Structure 1
Amino acid sequence: MIQPNIMEGGHQLHHPLYMTAQNTTSESDLNIRLGRYDNVFDSENQKGGSSSDDQDQQVPKKRFNRRHTRHQIQKMEAFFKECPLPNDKQKKELSRELGLTPLQVKFWFQNKRNQIKTQHERHENIQLRTENEKLSADNVRYREALSRHSLCPNCGGPTPTIGEMSFYEHNLRVENARLREEIDLNSAIAAENMGNPVVNPLLSSTVPPRPVQLGPPAGMGGEMYGGATGDLLSEPNEADKNIIIELAIAAMEELIMMAQMGEPLWMTSLDGASVVLNEEEYIRTFPRETGPKAAGFKCEASREASVVIMNTINLVEILMDVSQWSTIFSGVVSRAMTLEVLSTGVSGNFNGAMQVMTAEIQVPSPLVPTRESYFVRYCKQHADGTWAVVDVSLDNLRPSPAVRCRRRPSGCLFQEMPNGHSKVTWVEHVEVDYRDVHNLYKQLVNSGHAFGAKRWVATLDRQCERLASATATNIQTGDIGVTTNQDGRKSMLKLSERMVISFYAGVSASTTHTWTTISGTETDNIRIMTRKSMDDPGTPPGIVLNVATSFWLPIPPKRVFDFLREENSRSEWDILSNGGVVQEMTHIANGRDTGNCLSLLRINSDNSFQSKTLILQESCTDQTASFVIYAPVDTVAMNVVLNGGDPDKVALLPSGFAILHNSDRGIPGGSLLTVAFQILVDSVPTAKLSLGSVATVNNLIAWTVERIKASLSCDNA
């Protein structure tokens, strides 16, 4: 069997894939030096002690009549953070677990929601009162200033005294009111157009919530977008805000029609597998365009519908919260931020919310450039109860030659269904420049499958299943050796989520990444990228080297996915487990498909270096893509996680595979496979990358690709 030269150039890599027994220091080493497995599942960390509920019952309180025990309240508080609107099944499960009736659980959650709503309204009321006092103080100040001057600046005549209801004082009040309306103009227009203005009881006028300015995410400055696009990301001025609001309202109308209309606007494709947009009919139907199509751009439009396991309110909240949106769609959104909130919507929900955003949409491969967009996002609840969220590009306000993607009105409709489900109708409509896409991915991108509505809906469906699994109380552990309690299960899922997000962030061709090609042909490119890791408890400190390559396989995606995720075939491609027996210690299902699961693997080998190595692995699949993502983990830290400890302190560097469904070279059902590793090449963050380290990782990834092709019998692919 071929073995890579892991010591080439005299530089040994500080990574679990290449460690020997001599340079392993301890079990808790944060540089992911894997120790022994003897005490991972011992009983010394089992919980003990007495409950505080008995003390509450033994010492009755005179002034309070506690209906629920402290344990019951803590459990319901924890569940409320995950799901504030439980369905009937979840209420029954909670009642059985806590010894309450379903009605008691229902009333507790109702009271909790009302309490939070009251707190929010009280806070909003304080803000409005402060604003009212400020306006009143401004008015008094103007009147006092007017009375101190003997001559009017306009006509030169005497000014009226305080208290006189003169023509000048009337004009002053009118001007004061006009200034106040101008401050709140943008949000007021949004609220009035949706028919639900916010009434300020203190001012007796329609005043929307005060807009909130949001800055870039932590660790990212405004220069992150760089180049000519920097002008697009400056804060909109007042004139632009009026245009943005009108554009968003028009885009909402177009999205509703695009989501509901059939032929001749939408036509069935030749293969009958999808619907395509009739561009001529689109131009006739929507003459109020957002601008002419740029030279060299191509139109890409798609529509997809599905039913997901989540209620509409939570879905709307995900899309209107940039942090939740980029987390749920981490495989699609490489990075995003809110530049300015024009309206927060009606108090208590996002009806009428409007915000200016920027985002990069990705394909998990360094060979496909991300699509960067500067757009406004507008949310509205319609009369029939349907929620809609629409995006539309704003780059026409400040044209730039660097813009490579324009979003025509795109977004989704959410319709409430029984049992906490929702019907989602997604529309993606963009104009893009395909020139920088690698030949290997051109067919996938040109077909619209790489960035289309089907991928968004499939990702959302899979993530909704994962969230439902994370909040489930009925855990099926099976007979695979190690079982976890509910707290341990949640900690493992949280750790795995961070691992998956880190993998996505390290494999795309984002504008913040600088990939370097070290070898390649028309169908095989190996690219590297370095980054410094400092002061991050979730990543070992030092120089991290990302290496990735993408290639085509004439093999159905499901076969490739099953081969890479199953522990029985792991030794055929993984140098870490080569020659050892891989055993699955923990299995957590998080979706309908059996391939959607989280596993903790142990490698048993005669080699002291490989013996009892632990690997955390998450595999997931949907109609458009499949992923197998894994990371070696420290045994001591993993023992803490299995007992419900904080997973954020577990250091890991993920590696894995992204499989996109594609056919090429006349062979249907082919796969585009991306292989990516993140490797610590030096534990000193200020060190320089050596050529020996580059040669070593080049050999490693080339060997892995060769073994995969050989095992799948496609050496000539």
Structure 2
Amino acid sequence: MMEFSSGGGGGSSGGDHQDASDPHRRKKRYHRHTAHQIQRLEAMFKECPHPDEKTRNLLSRELALHPRQIKFWFQNRRTQMKAQHERADNCALRAENDKIRCENIAIREALKNVICPSCGGPPVSEDSYFDEQKLRMENAQLKEELDRVSSIAAKYIGRPISQLPPVQPIHVSSLDLSMASFGGHGIPGPSLDLDLLPGSSTSVIPNLAFPSMSISDMDKSLMADIAANAMDELIRLLQSNEPLWMKSAGDGREILNLESYDRIFPRPNSHLKNPSIRNEASRDSGVVIIHGLGLVEMFLDASKWVEFFPTIVARARTVEVISSGVLGSQSGTLQLMYEELQVLSALVPTRQLYFLRFCQQIEQGSWAIVDVSYDIPHQGSHFSSPCKAHRLPSGCLIQEMPNGYSKVTWVEHWEVEDKAPIHRLYRDLIHSGLAFGAERWLSTLQRMSERFACLIVTANSTRDLGGVIPSLEGKRSMMKLAQRMVNNFCSSINPASGQQWTTLSGLNEFEVRATVHRIIDPGQPNGVVLSAAATIWLPVPPQNVFNFFKDERSRPQWDVLSNQNPVQEVAHIANGSHPGNCISVLRALNTSQNNMLILQESCIDSSGSLVVYCPIDLPAINIAMSGEDPSYIPLLPSGFTITSDGRADHLQASGGDGASTSSNLDRSSGSLITVVFQILVSNLPTARMSPESITTVNNLISNTIHQIKSALNCATS
């Protein structure tokens, strides 16, 4: 049998605070549970490590124990289980860390000792470019694994683990879209305020943004209570209809009746609510092509979460796993997380927040996942967003269906305080709740689930490069390469914490904003990159704008880099049911650069669309087409984002069933278009932008926007 204190904090059986000098309270009282009680408690612990108050009361009546004894038994059992896991993980991580460190050192030493016998330098092979790339990628993967293991080991061991210095990626001249390419202007010259900022354009969050924090058992117990209450509220929001939810008069979306909500879920001091705080709440439902448990696992993995929602989640990280849940179902998993949510425009600040994510299996084949903001004292100082967003209980219900499908019902509920005015172009879209609403999340999930289904069973290619039909592995490799391109593009629009956009020009009817960052990530060209963006409004439906950018026949009308040369699609891979969701390989005709192609992915759903592209060498495309690992192929994407303007007077009814379908694409007569260019400007680590470079970037974006307006008959708008 096991003895557990019948009270908390020192073993007292109650919550009364007695003077330690009281002779009647000097000796701690313990309660020895019977074998039947322990067996019943263990069985319940396996099913639910964090029972709610109702479950604890039922157990107390069944086992003739006080509810406080039930509560403290579960607390002690969770602490004991965590200690056992930490001891096992500690030993395994030490061994794995030592093994990886030795392998990495051995690779470094081997590379040092390899020399050419004739010249004393490194050997040159027939395919030296890709040999170097593969070695660099392998070493980077080892270092990434070492960093992951070291960070976990440091958390358990309590001391830092030494790490090897980072590997510097090599420069790829074929992707060097320097400023000279657009006008012959060099980098040297007097620097402006657009300084080089640390970091890179990936979704990795700098460690400085997350100083180590100590989460006590009391904090964890509080988190568990908050998550349990949030789960109860979410389930009621998911299962209730009128009067809690009502149809929007403008577009038929499901929105929350705030009066009914306040009556059902009263909160303290709600009458003192800040009048500058606005409420965003919406609900949507639909079917996705992923089985339920696969969706649950994606939600609970921060890296997969970013990969699945690159257009919405700029960055995400699991700060702490409070409870690991039940193996095999993930029920009971509770995590403290951080994320930055974005609209794909430099004009809209990200929403930054810490939150708790709690998963609970409702019944066989059915899970609920709730997110709720969690304020951490002294940990929000790194938030740079002028938007203060608080996430009330939000999340989704996942219900498995036959043949690997799942029905997902999604709820988003926010309280937002804008510390600075919202840019006029995005005011309607954000105030309508469409920018961060349930429909956007669900439509993105549906589109990405189709994409991953195509990755598993790839559709036939309609046109093939050089007459060679890509293999199944080749199509998957191309899809992975294009997905990485899209992810890099989305992360470049909202730089990591510490990087800010600088307005280069406000003289035109649009603002050109730019930021400079050094890229050190594998799979991107090594050097200093300038990202420049501008957003415009056009009185053209989003679907028409998307068709214009996607069609290779209209590309010479806007692509200033093609010199108005025609473009031919030489490879095409579908990655969704909508014909606009596809990957293309394009070749510019009548040019001397026969070895340079364009990789492009276009994607569209009811929340908006993207057209992303980048130049790529023919040898690199052939490698991807052959099915080899494309992760070391450098990419520097540019492109367009297209969304509805969100104006209520243009919105049309969505059909009334709340489902996200492609029939809603034309609900607004106006479009917001963001033009993004990424340019490799220098290999120097301390480079800054010269006035000539600023002028060149302004001219590039201005000319592109002018040609777009002319082609769409909007030159005077």
- TM-score of the superposition, structure 2-length normalised? 0.68
Alignment-mate amino acid for residue 431 of structure 1: E
Shift in alpha-carbon separation, 1:303–1:195, aligned structure 2, 3 A: same
Say if 2:432 and 2:646, in contact at 8 Å, map to a contact too.
no
* Structure 2: gaps of 5 or more residues: 4-19, 34-44, 60-75, 87-150, 156-201, 651-667
Structure 2 equivalent of residue 678 of structure 1: 678
- Report SS of the residue matched to 1:647: coil
Instruction: Using the TM superposition, give the Cα deviation of residue 540 of structure 1 relative to its aligned residue in structure 2, in angstroms.
Output: 1.3
Say if 1:290 and 1:408, in contact at 8 Å, map to a contact too.
no
Q: How does 1:282-681 map to 2 (within 5 A)?
A: 282-287=261-266, 293-294=273-274, 296-383=276-363, 385-395=365-375, 404-436=388-420, 437-472=422-457, 475-478=460-463, 481-508=467-494, 511-520=497-506, 524-534=510-520, 536-605=521-590, 607-609=591-593, 611=594, 613-664=596-647, 668-681=668-681
- Residues 355-407 of structure 1, C-alpha deviations (whole Å, 9 max, x = no match): 11111110000100111111111000013642000011112877979770101
Q: Superposition RMSD on alpha carbons, in Å?
A: 3.5
Shift in alpha-carbon separation, 1:589–1:466, aligned structure 2, 3 A: same
Structure 2 equivalent of residue 714 of structure 1: 714
- Residues 631-669 of structure 1, C-alpha deviations (whole Å, 9 max, x = no match): 000122221111111211111100000001125596642
Q: How does 1:204-353 map to 2 (within 5 A)?
A: 208=81, 220-224=205-209, 234-287=213-266, 293-294=273-274, 296-353=276-333
Alignment-mate amino acid for residue 271 of structure 1: G
Instruction: Using the TM superposition, give the Cα deviation of residue 218 of structure 1 relative to its aligned residue in structure 2, in angstroms.
Output: 9.5
- Residues 581-600 of structure 1, C-alpha deviations (whole Å, 9 max, x = no match): 21111111011110000011
In 2, distance between residues paired with 1:311 and 1:674? 35
Q: How does 1:1-400 map to 2 (within 5 A)?
A: 190-193=49-52, 208=81, 220-224=205-209, 234-287=213-266, 293-294=273-274, 296-383=276-363, 385-395=365-375
Instruction: Using the TM superposition, give the Cα deviation of residue 490 of structure 1 relative to its aligned residue in structure 2, in angstroms.
Output: 1.1
Structure 2 equivalent of residue 705 of structure 1: 705
Say if 1:572 and 1:708, in contact at 8 Å, map to a contact too.
yes
In 1, distance between residues paired with 2:233 and 2:247? 20
- Report SS of the residue matched to 1:439: coil
- TM-score of the superposition, structure 1-length normalised? 0.68
Say if 1:658 and 1:674, in contact at 8 Å, map to a contact too.
yes
Shift in alpha-carbon separation, 1:662–1:171, aligned structure 2, 3 A: closer
- Report SS of the residue matched to 1:490: helix
Say if 2:410 and 2:438, in contact at 8 Å, map to a contact too.
yes
- Residues 174-227 of structure 1, C-alpha deviations (whole Å, 9 max, x = no match): 9xxxxxxxxxxx999844349799xxxxxx9776556789699996444337xx
Instruction: Using the TM superposition, give the Cα deviation of residue 457 of structure 1 relative to its aligned residue in structure 2, in angstroms.
Output: 0.2
Say if 2:459 and 2:575, in contact at 8 Å, map to a contact too.
no
Say if 1:187 and 1:343, in contact at 8 Å, map to a contact too.
no
Shift in alpha-carbon separation, 1:619–1:530, aligned structure 2, 3 A: same
- Report SS of the residue matched to 2:426: helix
Do residues 689 (structure 1) and 689 (structure 2) align? yes
In 2, distance between residues paired with 1:451 and 1:218? 19
Structure 2 equivalent of residue 164 of structure 1: none
Instruction: Using the TM superposition, give the Cα deviation of residue 439 of structure 1 relative to its aligned residue in structure 2, in angstroms.
Output: 1.2
Say if 2:567 and 2:587, in contact at 8 Å, map to a contact too.
yes
Alignment-mate amino acid for residue 693 of structure 2: S
In 2, distance between residues paired with 1:326 and 1:461? 15
In 1, distance between residues paired with 2:513 and 2:309? 25
In 2, distance between residues paired with 1:218 and 1:375? 18
Say if 2:464 and 2:571, in contact at 8 Å, map to a contact too.
no
Q: Rg larger in 1 or in 2?
A: 1
Alignment-mate amino acid for residue 576 of structure 1: L
In 2, distance between residues paired with 1:279 and 1:396? 27
In 1, distance between residues paired with 2:213 and 2:258? 33
Structure 2 equivalent of residue 107 of structure 1: none
Alignment-mate amino acid for residue 270 of structure 1: A
- Report SS of the residue matched to 1:374: strand
In 1, distance between residues paired with 2:334 and 2:687? 46
* Structure 1: gaps of 5 or more residues: 1-131, 136-152, 157-166, 175-185, 198-203
Instruction: Using the TM superposition, give the Cα deviation of residue 523 of structure 1 relative to its aligned residue in structure 2, in angstroms.
Output: 5.1
Shift in alpha-carbon separation, 1:511–1:716, aligned structure 2, 3 A: farther
In 2, distance between residues paired with 1:453 and 1:380? 20
Say if 2:429 and 2:647, in contact at 8 Å, map to a contact too.
no
Instruction: Using the TM superposition, give the Cα deviation of residue 472 of structure 1 relative to its aligned residue in structure 2, in angstroms.
Output: 0.1
Instruction: Using the TM superposition, give the Cα deviation of residue 479 of structure 1 relative to its aligned residue in structure 2, in angstroms.
Output: 6.8
Alignment-mate amino acid for residue 522 of structure 2: P
Instruction: Using the TM superposition, give the Cα deviation of residue 349 of structure 1 relative to its aligned residue in structure 2, in angstroms.
Output: 2.5
Shift in alpha-carbon separation, 1:345–1:294, aligned structure 2, 3 A: farther
- Report SS of the residue matched to 2:51: helix
- Residues 305-338 of structure 1, C-alpha deviations (whole Å, 9 max, x = no match): 0111111100101101111011101110000111
- Report SS of the residue matched to 1:404: strand
- Report SS of the residue matched to 1:496: helix
Instruction: Using the TM superposition, give the Cα deviation of residue 579 of structure 1 relative to its aligned residue in structure 2, in angstroms.
Output: 2.8
Structure 2 equivalent of residue 81 of structure 1: none
Instruction: Using the TM superposition, give the Cα deviation of residue 438 of structure 1 relative to its aligned residue in structure 2, in angstroms.
Output: 0.9
In 2, distance between residues paired with 1:324 and 1:289? 37
Say if 1:312 and 1:415, in contact at 8 Å, map to a contact too.
yes
In 2, distance between residues paired with 1:659 and 1:281? 35
In 1, distance between residues paired with 2:259 and 2:233? 16
Alignment-mate amino acid for residue 220 of structure 2: K
Alignment-mate amino acid for residue 317 of structure 2: M
Say if 1:208 and 1:343, in contact at 8 Å, map to a contact too.
no
In 1, distance between residues paired with 2:31 and 2:405? 55
Shift in alpha-carbon separation, 1:258–1:399, aligned structure 2, 3 A: farther
In 2, distance between residues paired with 1:406 and 1:266? 21
Shift in alpha-carbon separation, 1:590–1:419, aligned structure 2, 3 A: same
Alignment-mate amino acid for residue 287 of structure 1: P
In 1, distance between residues paired with 2:353 and 2:616? 37
Say if 1:191 and 1:345, in contact at 8 Å, map to a contact too.
no
Instruction: Using the TM superposition, give the Cα deviation of residue 613 of structure 1 relative to its aligned residue in structure 2, in angstroms.
Output: 2.9
- Report SS of the residue matched to 1:633: strand
- Residues 512-551 of structure 1, C-alpha deviations (whole Å, 9 max, x = no match): 43100011269511000000123x3311112100000001
- Residues 77-118 of structure 1, C-alpha deviations (whole Å, 9 max, x = no match): xxxxxxxxxxxxxxxxxxxxxxxxxxxxxxxxxxxxxxxxxx
- Report SS of the residue matched to 2:493: coil
Structure 2 equivalent of residue 58 of structure 1: none
